[in-house]
Amino acid sequence: MNSAARPKAKVAFFDFTSCEGCQIELTNLGATVFTGLLDHIEFVEFREVMKEQSKEPIDIAFIEGSFTRESDRKRLEEIRARAKIVVAYGACAVTGGINALKNHTSDYSRFVYGKDSEMSHLESQKAQPISAAIPVDYVVPGCPIDKNEFAYIVSHLLHGKAPVIPNHPVCVECKARETICRYHQSDYCLGLVARAGCGAPCPADGIPCEACRGFIDQPNEAALAKVLVSKGGLSERRAQEKSRMFTANLREDSQVQAGENI
């Protein structure tokens, strides 16, 4: 629709420490949405699907994955210098995500690589969000991202509007879709402090919310641990450790500064 009137936005995708599953979600958008997006944007760089690479300025840079190696900082700074807008997409990029689950330990490299852990190419630091290395303008939370929310955010950015990421808990979305509460089914759930916007697919599929989109603002972590024990039946130890899975960097005891930009 009238795409000829405006030049297409130049968009590039970059990946750091991640599973690259958020990229895969984009291919799941299907023919209509995907080719529709191509009417409005031009992919100038996307290593997983394109050989083409450039050094030209970018309108929107999408960055997936956590910042886990000091040697990646330069690449991130180059992307920032080229891009008008930087969007961190996926939990790894937004908060450190699952990569941060090991951040409270110090023996992880030795545990995985044994005596080889000193080899220089195995360099790694605590997993941090992209915003720990460069300023980030917008985020697409979730593990994986919700592909429809991604399309919504891209659409807003193309129209020069700021997308809104909800700040209410996942519980609200379970109520809206009439999902029976996990706590009423002898289970536990993090939905009460987890940031909504995903449509609460996990409780609807019979598993607890693990807060992959991060916490809502000012979560009551002490109350969460209490509820996990008293209503969720978890041991004290599990209750204390529970929220490390996707929100390790957002916890009060985190040694890493997590995404401030949500």
In the complex, the residues that contact other proteins under the rule CB under 8 A are 16-25, 27-31, 34-35, 38, 43, 46-53, 68-69, 72, 97-99, 101-102, 105, 107-109, 111-116, 119, 121-122, 124, 143-144, 201-202, 204-207, 210, 235, 238, 241, 245
Q: Which is nearer to other proteins, 102 or 195 (CB)?
A: 102
Calculate ∠ Cα 78-80-86, nearest 5°: 145
Q: How far is the CB of 157 from other proteins (least distance, A)?
A: 20
Q: Which is nearer to other proteins, 176 or 207 (CB)?
A: 207
Q: Which is nearer to other proteins, 134 or 202 (CB)?
A: 202
Q: How far is the CB of 156 from other proteins (least distance, A)?
A: 23
Q: Which is nearer to other proteins, 137 or 152 (CB)?
A: 152
Is 192:209 a contact under the CB 8 Å cutoff?
no
Strand pairing report for 58-64 and 41-46:
unpaired
Is 107:168 a contact under the CB 8 Å cutoff?
no
**CA–centroid distance for 210 within its chain:** 13
Is 136:261 a contact under the CB 8 Å cutoff?
yes
Q: Which is nearer to other proteins, 131 or 243 (CB)?
A: 243
Q: How far is the CB of 8 from other proteins (least distance, A)?
A: 12
Q: Which is nearer to other proteins, 119 or 162 (CB)?
A: 119
Q: Render the burial of 206-241: b for 16+ CB within 10 Å, e for the rest.
A: eebbbbbbbbbeebebeebbebbbebbebeeeebbb
Q: How far is the CB of 214 from other proteins (least distance, A)?
A: 15
Q: How far is the CB of 160 from other proteins (least distance, A)?
A: 25
Quote the longest CA-to-CA distance of the chain. Answer: 61
Q: Which is nearer to other proteins, 24 or 164 (CB)?
A: 24
Q: What gap in Å lies between CA 182 and CA 78, rounded to an integer?
A: 45
Measured CA to CA in angstroms, residue 143 lies from 99, 111, 153, 230 at distances of 11, 25, 16, 28
Is 129:61 a contact under the CB 8 Å cutoff?
no
DSSP state of 192: T
Q: Name the nearest CA neighbour of 94 among 41, 47, 140.
A: 140
Q: How far is the CB of 161 from other proteins (least distance, A)?
A: 27
Q: Which is nearer to other proteins, 178 or 260 (CB)?
A: 178
Q: How far is the CB of 162 from other proteins (least distance, A)?
A: 27
**CA–centroid distance for 34 within its chain:** 21
Q: How far is the CB of 119 from other proteins (least distance, A)?
A: 7
